[in-house]
């Protein structure tokens, strides 16, 4: 689509803070006021309301993500990792020459993911506290861009780690419905 849009001379704005300020472009203001769709004040107000909503929604999503990771995902991963380690120890106690390759490899991978997820959660939590500082922003455009640039990349990185952890955690130990559950089961 990006190539097609460029070939047609169309703009391509990937996020709300990228496109909404263009409400205020002279050609857009002129067209909307000439057609009596919106007044200048209404155009500006609409832009500010949408950008404010974007910033608030992203903050809520980031806060929810931190809570989900802290209260559900990390404890579940830690418990599964501990159960794997216990299984390996029990097997070794019974038969000392066993490799316990699955338990060892999975425990090692989970431990690495747990550390990455915990670090990502703390990084997101700090970024969220920073964008939530009172008086931090002078205008809604700057706020929405800062919120986007500060929170979205951290959320995407944390999501990738959690998605990977989900693929190696048994369904009965993962705290949320899996994608398969959401797509293919009706209860």
pLDDT tens digits for 149-161?
999 999 999 999 9
Neighbours of 24 (CB within 10 A): 13
- CB-based burial label for 121 (10 Å; 0-12, 13-18, 19+): buried
Contact indicator for 113, 161 with CB cutoff of 8 Å: yes
Span 108-145, pLDDT tens digits:
999 999 999 999 999 999 999 999 999 999 999 999 99
Give the pLDDT of residue 11.
85
Contact indicator for 48, 68 with CB cutoff of 8 Å: no
CA atoms within 13 A on the CB side of 125: 11
Look over the chain and give the mean of its residue pLDDT values, rounded to a whole number: 94
pLDDT at 179 over 80: no
Using CA atoms, how far residue 131 sits from 66, 84, 176, 184, in Å, is 15, 39, 28, 38
Q: 119: which DSSP letter?
A: H
Identify the sign of the CA torsion 171, 172, 177, 183: positive
pLDDT at 187 over 80: no
pLDDT at 183 over 90: no
More confident residue, 182 or 34: 34
């Amino acid at each position: 689509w990006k190539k097609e849009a460029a070939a047609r001379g169309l703009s391509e704005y990937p996020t709300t803070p990228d496109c909404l300020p263009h409400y205020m472009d002279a050609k857009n203001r002129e067209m909307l006021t000439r057609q009596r769709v919106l007044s200048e004040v209404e155009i500006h107000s609409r832009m500010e309301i949408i950008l404010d909503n974007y910033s608030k929604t992203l903050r809520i999503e980031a806060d929810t993500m931190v809570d989900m990771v802290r209260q559900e995902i990390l404890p579940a991963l830690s418990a599964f990792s501990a159960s794997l380690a216990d299984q390996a120890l029990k097997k070794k106690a019974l038969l000392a020459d066993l490799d316990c390759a699955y338990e060892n490899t999975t425990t090692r991978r989970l431990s690495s993911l747990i550390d990455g997820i915990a670090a990502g959660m703390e990084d997101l939590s700090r970024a969220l506290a920073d964008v939530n500082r009172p008086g931090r922003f002078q205008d809604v455009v700057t706020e929405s861009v800062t919120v986007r640039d500060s929170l979205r990349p951290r959320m995407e990185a944390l999501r990738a780690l959690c998605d990977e952890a989900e693929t190696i955690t048994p369904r009965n130990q993962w705290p949320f419905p899996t994608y398969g559950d959401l797509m293919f089961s009706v209860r």
